[in-house]
Amino acid sequence: MRTSFKVHAALAGGAGALMLLVAGPTLLPGVLPLPSPRFLAVLAGVTVFPLLGWALFRGLFFGGFDRELQWLAFRCLPGRTRLALVALIGAGVALCVLDGAASGSRQNAEVRDGRYVVLETTPGRRGTVEVDRREYEAVREADQRGALTIPGTMLAGTALIVLVTGEARRADGGPVSTTSAAPASGGTRN
């Protein structure tokens, strides 16, 4: 596999792991000193879209392989790499499910004129609602978790796409090596 695939996957996987690592503790009691959800969303957009776009471009226009070849390419990746990527994607999916279960119908926590307000999304009661500081912090933390969990999971998937594409290209690009086969003449191998 070419080094560019490894670097691309390392950037996507590393950024995804970092986002998921920061998002995980937001489920615990207490408030983490994280930047605003808007900043996190911009940061996620700046990292996710270029890395995912390039991965899809590489996969679609340079890969051109079918689903069976993708599975074989995945199985050819080193075991620890496969385990790390599957664990990272699994953790991201689990965090998304937990975030969906923990989040209520309120989002977009803001401070306006010294008051804490959130956007109520319940049908029939949709609009801006004033809340106390505790509710404001809970909604803000849920917004931060969502701004980290979804992009982190997407980046973990991007790393997987890149490595599978790189492995499939490596397998398609060169001749099959017969050096690992047993010698036909019955001699010993050195």
Coil, strand, or helix at residue 143? helix
For position 26, what pLDDT does the model report?
Answer: 78
Burial (CB count <10 Å: 0-12, 13-18, 19+), residue 84? middle
Residue 181 Cα to chain centre, angstroms: 39
Q: What are phi and psi of 185, to 5 degrees?
A: -80, 0
149 and 119 in contact (C-beta within 8 Å)?
no
Query: 65 pLDDT band (50/70/90 cuts)?
Result: low
pLDDT, tens only, 15-39: 999 889 888 887 777 777 777 777 8
In 34-146, at which residue ranges do the beta strands (DSSP E only) sit? 106-112, 115-120, 127-131
84: left (phi over 0), alpha (psi -120 to 50) or beta: alpha
Output 189 or 73, whichever has higher pLDDT: 73
- pLDDT one-digit tens code per residue, 119-177: 887 777 787 888 888 888 888 888 888 888 989 999 999 999 898 888 887 766 644 44
